[in-house]
Amino acid sequence: MRIQRITYGLLMGWLVAQTPPLVTISQIQTPKNLAAGNDSSVLHGQYVRVRGVVATRCSSHRHFGVSGGPNSKRCSMWIFDTIPPYRGLQIRRQNVSDLPTGFTNLQPGQYVELKGTVGYFQGEIQLLIDTVDANNPVQILNIGVPLPPATEISLTDINQPNGTHNLQLGDQWQGHFVKVRNLTVTNVLTNPLRISVVDANGNQGLIFGEFKDLTNNYPVGTRLDSVKGIVLHYWPSQGTPMYEICPWHDSLMKVGNAVPGVSNLRRTPVCPPSSASVTVEVEVVGAGNDPITQVTLFWATGASTTYSPVLMTQVGTTSTYRATIPAQPQGTYVHYYVEARDQSGDVVKFPRFEPQSYRVNDAGCHITDIQYVIPSVLYAYNPTGRRDYLGSGYNRLSVSNVPGVVTATENDLGYIYIQQPGASEWAGIWVRPLSAAPPLQIGDSVVVTSALVDEYFGLTNLRDAQISRVGSASAPIMPIVLPLNLVYGDTQYAATEPYESMLVRFRHDNPSQKLRVVQHQISTSYPHQGDYRVGMDPADPLKGIRVLAGRQTQNIFSSLKVSYVNDSAWATTDGLIDPTLPLCEVYDSTTQMDSLQGIFTYQWNFIKLLPRSNSDFFRVSGTSCDRSTAIASASHLPLLIGPNPALHSLNIQVPAELGEVRLALYTLQGQCLAEKIQQGTQEWDLSMLPAGTYLLKVVAGSKQAFFRVVKL
């Protein structure tokens, strides 16, 4: 047996060797220079110890298991000081492995000591928990310690009357457990949950869904006797800074006079032909002793916002109400909503943000019907609502037998997209299979036999889809050529919505000239670090399209089959770029191309283009191509791996000083075959793999390495 030994040291950092000073939450929360607008901590950047009673669970934080991938342990929890003035502190863990040991198992009422570095993010002072010293886990000093009572404040103690932050007054409440009385819900947004409220004097505030256990059960008009939660400071680089109140459970929301509960708006048939009327049903329940007195369906056609009312009838003694929309001519766009009224006069309009809708089609459900919306209708329906995207009127409804031609597959882009042939708008859609899809190639003709229409942060998709391959397409889908001024500033949502998920090509307005990379890195923000912009004029970079390749996480989608990225780090970060390809960094102005194409998408609030492979770039020049970084180790780790080559299994020995490491096995084409967390020595069964060469990725804290593994 041949043992491969990798003997390079892992730098632990000088912080591990020292005992940091013990400080209080109040000391950490003290701002540097509030008068000058600097609300970062006086201890910013210092490595400290702090004690407090745990108030919230890591598992209840909405980023736990989401941000950073499906196996992420990234999350925040809050601790409170047991000594007045009961200041609280956000404890933030950035890593995606379970370090420090025991952190994710902490429970409310435990009095703990934690080590970390004082940090700051978008207005919020945080302690970035120490994940380096694996031998010094979280210390639980006591259990059963009661949380401090909530301090009663008013909305004007933290924000201006219009809801923007009052930095001078509000900073003292950052991280506090507070209580605000007598609020009324004025608007509700989801993804994430944001509940806008006003007090009796019209002062505005925001209840934010920082935690999973706060549900969306507070429709517009709900009167709240009181709300308890943690004050979170949100100060984005662009937009409105504010202090938000974050209840970590519905039990902290005390409803005074509840309004009707309206849910599950549905229709039969979902995709109506011109010969059929449409039956609309909805569930409506009253609150307590306040019964429902009337439920009305409002419907209109085309661009009209003059709705015809139809009284809905109750189905027996159930909570279901029903009404009918008459049959309409082929191609008619029908949009509708319901209003429920209770005995005390409270009225709830549902849906909240945009009407439900459909387009009459005698041929059955098509992509163009599912995607089609009339923006002016949606804007008129909720003129003050957020308009980052325009959702499908089929959202949350099941559809069947949707035909299309494959424009991207799991073998190139990494995700399946299909497009309706012959249509120049509203024709593309993302397909998310329920189980393994049949082998597909670009150009295949398919039918989605069943799926649920879903909105993934504004990107319409067919979720839990069953896909049937019909055969090769009779004619390939050709890209739609769009002018670059259509995407000016990345946020022309109404103008770009017709092309969502379609195969799109961009080129210079003057065909004799080339496109250029006008910004090689648009942002240093994590979701957008890999974005670069291709346009015509470096002096006007906003007239260009964001391009993303080489990154795949649970919520960042792009191809690992594209060479052209803005940083060589993407070779092995957020997915493994196909090692058989050259790795080419793009540069401002010097990188040029005749044209480029890909899937037109919406991601993290911006419009982007996702090239599927290098063939989507035409005549590229001015890049720096190198493959040495692709499988080179960012830092070497002291592991024992063997036998290599392996016949049946691979023995992997992880030294104790590394603690838990994350292992992932890839094909040379970048496909992840398996992942696991390991501590100590374990065998990895390779018997089910075909003979060949694979790449083993090892991540320990902030260090990672890649090793070639040969299976005989």
pLDDT for 84-143, tens place per residue? Answer: 666 899 998 876 566 787 888 899 999 999 998 999 988 999 999 877 665 667 899 999
Which pLDDT score, from 0 to 100, does residue 97 have?
65
Which pLDDT score, from 0 to 100, does residue 167 have?
93
The model's confidence at residue 450, banded by pLDDT at 50, 70 and 90, is very high
Q: Are residues 246 and 282 in the same domain?
A: no
Q: What is the mean pLDDT of residues 368-384?
A: 91
Q: Are residues 338 and 221 in the same domain?
A: no
User: Is the predicted pLDDT of residue 651 greater than 50, yes or no?
Assistant: yes
Q: Are residues 491 and 610 in the same domain?
A: yes
Which pLDDT score, from 0 to 100, does residue 10 have?
33
Q: What is the DSSP letter of 110?
A: -
Which pLDDT score, from 0 to 100, does residue 133 have?
65
Which pLDDT score, from 0 to 100, does residue 158 have?
96
The model's confidence at residue 11, banded by pLDDT at 50, 70 and 90, is very low
Q: Are residues 137 and 38 in the same domain?
A: yes
Residue 293 in any domain: the answer is yes
Q: What is the DSSP letter of 649?
A: E
pLDDT for 267-321, tens place per residue? Answer: 999 999 999 999 999 999 987 778 999 999 999 999 999 999 999 999 999 999 9
DSSP string, 376-398: HHHHHHSTTS--S----TTTT-E
Q: SS3 sequence, 208-264?
A: ECCECCCCCCCCCCCEEEEEEEEEEEECCCCCCCEEEEECCCHHHEEEEECCCEEEE
Q: What is the DSSP letter of 174?
A: T
Whole domain around residue 679: which residue ranges? 640-711
Between the two ends of the chain, the Cα-to-Cα distance in Å is 13
User: Is the predicted pLDDT of residue 628 greater than 90, yes or no?
Assistant: no
Last residue of a domain, one of 224, 257, 290: 257
Report percent pLDDT > 90 for the chain. Answer: 58
Residue 433 in any domain: the answer is no
Residue 447 in any domain: the answer is no
Q: Are residues 668 and 618 in the same domain?
A: no
Q: Are residues 235 and 328 in the same domain?
A: no
Q: SS3 sequence, 9-41?
A: CCCCCCCCCCCCCEECHHHHHCEEEHHHCEEEE
C-beta of residue 278 within 8 angstroms of C-beta of residue 324: yes
Distance CA 711, CA 604 (A): 40
User: Is the predicted pLDDT of residue 592 greater than 50, yes or no?
Assistant: yes
Residue 61 in any domain: the answer is yes
Which pLDDT score, from 0 to 100, does residue 578 have?
84
Which pLDDT score, from 0 to 100, does residue 663 have?
86
Residue 487 in any domain: the answer is yes
Q: Are residues 208 and 220 in the same domain?
A: yes
Q: Are residues 199 and 336 in the same domain?
A: no
Residue 399 in any domain: the answer is no
pLDDT for 679-696, tens place per residue? Answer: 888 888 888 888 877 888
Distance CA 575, CA 701 (A): 17
User: Is the predicted pLDDT of residue 18 greater than 70, yes or no?
Assistant: no
Beta bridge partners of 450: 466
C-beta of residue 495 within 8 angstroms of C-beta of residue 486: yes
SS3 339: strand
> Which CATH number does the domain housing residue 219 bear?
2.40.50.550
- The Cα angle at residue 237 between residues 233 and 239, in degrees rounded to 5: 80
CA-closest candidate to residue 312, choices 337, 287, 277, 345? 337
Residue 402 in any domain: the answer is no
- What's the mean pLDDT when you consider all of the chain? 88
Which pLDDT score, from 0 to 100, does residue 282 have?
98
Which pLDDT score, from 0 to 100, does residue 168 have?
92
Give the range among 186-190, 323-327, 481-485, 699-703 with minimum mean pLDDT.
699-703
Which pLDDT score, from 0 to 100, does residue 135 have?
61
Distance CA 612, CA 160 (A): 47
User: Is the predicted pLDDT of residue 637 greater than 80, yes or no?
Assistant: no
Which pLDDT score, from 0 to 100, does residue 72 have?
61
User: Is the predicted pLDDT of residue 618 greater than 80, yes or no?
Assistant: yes
The model's confidence at residue 554, banded by pLDDT at 50, 70 and 90, is confident
Q: Are residues 492 and 612 in the same domain?
A: yes
Last residue of a domain, one of 208, 224, 257: 257
The model's confidence at residue 626, banded by pLDDT at 50, 70 and 90, is low
Q: Are residues 41 and 156 in the same domain?
A: no
Q: What is the mean pLDDT of residues 221-245?
A: 90
Which pLDDT score, from 0 to 100, does residue 66 have?
57
Q: Are residues 168 and 289 in the same domain?
A: no
- The Cα angle at residue 102 between residues 101 and 106, in degrees rounded to 5: 155
Q: Are residues 505 and 566 in the same domain?
A: yes
Q: What is the mean pLDDT of residues 35-63?
A: 91
Residue 592 in any domain: the answer is yes
Q: What is the mean pLDDT of residues 699-710?
A: 76
Q: What is the mean pLDDT of residues 314-339?
A: 97
- The Cα angle at residue 200 between residues 196 and 202, in degrees rounded to 5: 55
Which pLDDT score, from 0 to 100, does residue 629 have?
42
pLDDT for 503-522, tens place per residue? Answer: 999 999 998 999 999 999 99
C-beta of residue 307 within 8 angstroms of C-beta of residue 262: no
Last residue of a domain, one of 313, 344, 364: 364
Residue owning tokens 């290098």? 614
pLDDT for 62-75, tens place per residue? Answer: 876 655 544 566 78
- The tokens for 77 are 């929890």
φ and ψ at 621, to 5 degrees?
A: -145, 160
- What is the count of structural domains for the chain? 5
